[in-house]
Amino acid sequence: MKKLCLGLPKGSLQEATIDMMKKAGYTVIVNSRSYYPTIDDDEISVRLIRPQDMSRYIEKGIIDAGLTGADWVKEAESDVRVVVSLIYAKQQLTKVKWVLAVPETSAIHTVNDLQGKKIATELVNVTRRYLAERGIVADIEFSHGATEAKAPDLVDAIVELTETGNSLRANKLRIVETIMESSTLLIANHNAWEDEWKRTKIENLAMLFEGAIIAREKVGLKMNVPNGALDQVLKKLPALRKPTISSLSEGAGYAIETVLDETIARKITPELKRAGAEGIIEYPLNKVIL
Ligand SMILES: Nc1ncnc2c1ncn2[C@@H]1O[C@H](COP(=O)(O)OP(=O)(O)OP(=O)(O)O)[C@@H](O)[C@H]1O
Ligand SMILES: O=P(O)(O)OC[C@H]1O[C@H](OP(=O)(O)OP(=O)(O)O)[C@H](O)[C@@H]1O
Ligand SMILES: [Mg+2]
């Protein structure tokens, strides 16, 4: 049987990725200490790979495709096919940022103030290129992690990833500039992409993964509306296209069904009730394919 070898990111993105895949319809089970999780699709084999290494495994064709951060693809300068960008991070459905940060009390206020200074980061190549483009010569040292703790004792500034901003705040650091934004990417090997069977399999995954991400922020809403209240209720309702309206039996009114952002749903639900809607139910969605 043909198989697609898919790399999943070990570490920070692992849980969010497995949750996303569950919504997309795939159950991935990770056994502790094993780098070969199981998946309920005979046509896919999965491997856990560190995000930093993912694009190199794919460029070399050791695996066909995988999920990793755009940051590490750029850092490794790998030649891979970017299939789709999926906006989710460890904790939220957002992009993450790599920022140049300094202690709150530092005299460094712009990137130009870094001339001759010492910077610690895990993202050495991207940082080096960023500074070189601006004519700054600085001493960039590789950090193995816990980078926030290094300024000001060991270095003048750091370039570090931030999602919620909690780590920067907890370590009394101030952002000077954003160096790059990064989202999770589904990337593929060029030869795998040229193979019709593999490409279709990868494209199907991309569609389901994207659908799962879009669905995370949306909900389904159903309600009954008595005759006479329909216009008032419809004025309040957004929909992907237009809401579905069906007639209730014996002319008792209408049933309305729609899909909308969860934040809008929580705002308009009381308004719908006041406009005459009854029996309003809200339900989560697994996938929304646009
Ligand atoms: N909140 C987050 N913290 C860290 N990385 C995140 C977060 N959200 C998304 N990511 C992405 O996850 C990947 C993390 O990769 P990284 O190689 O730094 O390993 P890690 O999972 O953080 O492991 P480690 O514990 O060694 O730091 C990056 O591509 C990064 O952009
Ligand atoms: O803005 P925040 O939401 O606080 O997230 C950013 C923090 O998360 C990551 O650390 P990680 O958990 O990967 O540990 P590490 O320092 O060992 O890399 C990253 O390196 C930052 O320290
Ligand atoms: Mg990390």
Q: Give Cβ neighbours of residue 257 (< 8 Å, ≥ 6 apart).
A: 220, 221, 222, 243, 244, 246
Tokens representing 56 are 């190199």
Output the average pLDDT for the chain: 96
Q: How far is the CA of 71 from the centre of ligand 3 (A)?
A: 12
Cα 261 versus chain centre, distance:
17
3-state helix vs strand vs coil in the chain, percent to 5: 35, 30, 35
Question: Which atom of ligand 1 is nearest the CA belonging to 164?
Answer: 1
Pair type for strands 28-29 and 157-162: unpaired
Tell me which residues have their CB closer than 6 angstroms to ligand 2.
12, 145-146, 148, 160-167
Give the DSSP per-residue string, 70-124: HHHHHHHT---EEEEEE---SSSSS-EEEEEEEETT-S--SGGGGTT-EEEES-H
| pLDDT tens for each residue of 77-119 | 999 999 999 999 999 999 999 999 999 999 999 999 999 999 9
CATH topology of domain 218-284: Alpha-Beta Plaits (3.30.70)
Q: What distance in Å separates the CA atoms of residue 3 and residue 177, rounded to the nearest whole number? A: 44
Give the DSSP per-residue string, 120-166: EES-HHHHHHHHHHTT---EEEE--S-GGGGTTTT-SEEEEEESSSH
By most ligand atoms within 8 Å of CB, the mutation choice from 10, 13, 159, 162 for ligand 2 is 162
**Which residues, in sequence order, are bridge partners of residue 159?**
100, 121
Please determine whether the domains at 4-91+184-215 and 96-182 fall in the same fold group of CATH: yes
- Name the residue ranges covered by the structural domains of the chain: 4-91+184-215, 96-182, 218-284
- Contact status, residue 53 vs residue 7, Cβ threshold 8 Å: no
Query: With a cut of 0.90, is the ipTM above it?
Result: yes
| 65 Cβ closer than 6 Å to some ligand 1 atom | no
- Contact status, residue 55 vs residue 187, Cβ threshold 8 Å: yes
Q: Say whether the peptide bond before residue 152 is cis (omega within 30 degrees of 0).
A: yes
Q: Whose atoms come closest to the Cα of 12: which ligand?
A: 1
Q: Provide the pLDDT for residue 240.
A: 63
| pLDDT tens for each residue of 245-271 | 999 999 899 999 999 999 999 999 999
Question: Which atom of ligand 1 is nearest the CA belonging to 145?
Answer: 27
Q: Which CATH number fits domain 96-182: 3.90.79.10, 3.40.190.10, 3.20.20.140, 3.30.750.24?
A: 3.40.190.10
Q: How far is the CA of 123 from the centre of ligand 1 (A)?
A: 11
Q: Provide the pLDDT for residue 62.
A: 98
Residue owning tokens 């990111």: 9
Nearest residue to 66 (alpha-carbon basis) of 161, 181, 189, 208: 189
Side by side, which strands form the sheet with 173-182?
139-142, 118-121, 157-162, 96-103, 173-182
Q: What is the CATH number of domain 4-91+184-215?
A: 3.40.190.10
**Percent of the residues in the chain that have a pLDDT greater than 70, as a whole number:** 99
| pLDDT tens for each residue of 178-218 | 999 999 999 999 999 999 999 999 999 999 999 999 999 99
| pLDDT tens for each residue of 145-157 | 999 999 999 999 9
